[in-house]
Amino acid sequence: MIRRWTPGTVAAPIGMYSHLAQVPAGHELVVISGQVGAQPDGTLAGEDAAAQTEAVFANLEQLLAQAGAGPQHLVKVFSMVAGTEHLPGFRSVVKQTFTRWFPGGDWPAQSLIVAAALARPDILVEVEAMAAVPR
């Protein structure tokens, strides 16, 4: 089981994440490239951050399944959002998704940056992740 925690020696997280996540023995680290809100046919799921973020997390679930894992195996999530104006849509979907994925609040480590732009002007959200998959 992945150990995730926040020691009492640092401030509490400001969001839905743990400060530390440890990969146990007998697991392989799987690295997932940055996922954008693209549907299987390559088109973007929508023009807003919420629709794109929903597609990003659907893609992550599919990729985790291909690796023999699920959201419970996530160790680290790194999110990029193109502009502060897209944070509310992104955060609402993260809250909804993480509440479903981690009902006990055992959040993975997580970082978020706001960028001026991502790979294309129509891409508003990109998320990469690392998972620990039992061998």
Tens digits of per-residue pLDDT, 29-72? 999 999 999 999 999 999 999 999 999 999 999 999 999 999 99
Among 128, 125, 116, residue whose Cα is nearest residue 51? 125
Tens digits of per-residue pLDDT, 4-37? 999 999 999 999 999 999 999 999 999 999 999 9
Task: Report DSSP letters for 81-101, one per residue.
Answer: EESGGGHHHHHHHHHHHHHHH
Domain 22-134: CATH class, spelled out: alpha beta
- Residue 1's pLDDT band (cuts 50, 70, 90): confident
Residues contacting 25, CB < 8 A, separation 6+: none
Tens digits of per-residue pLDDT, 82-131? 999 999 999 999 999 999 999 999 999 999 999 999 999 999 999 999 99
Instruction: Provide the residue ranges of all domains of the chain, joining segments of one domain with +.
Output: 22-134
| DSSP H helices in the chain | 49-66, 87-101
Strand partners, 22: 3
Q: Look up residue 49 and give its amino acid.
A: A
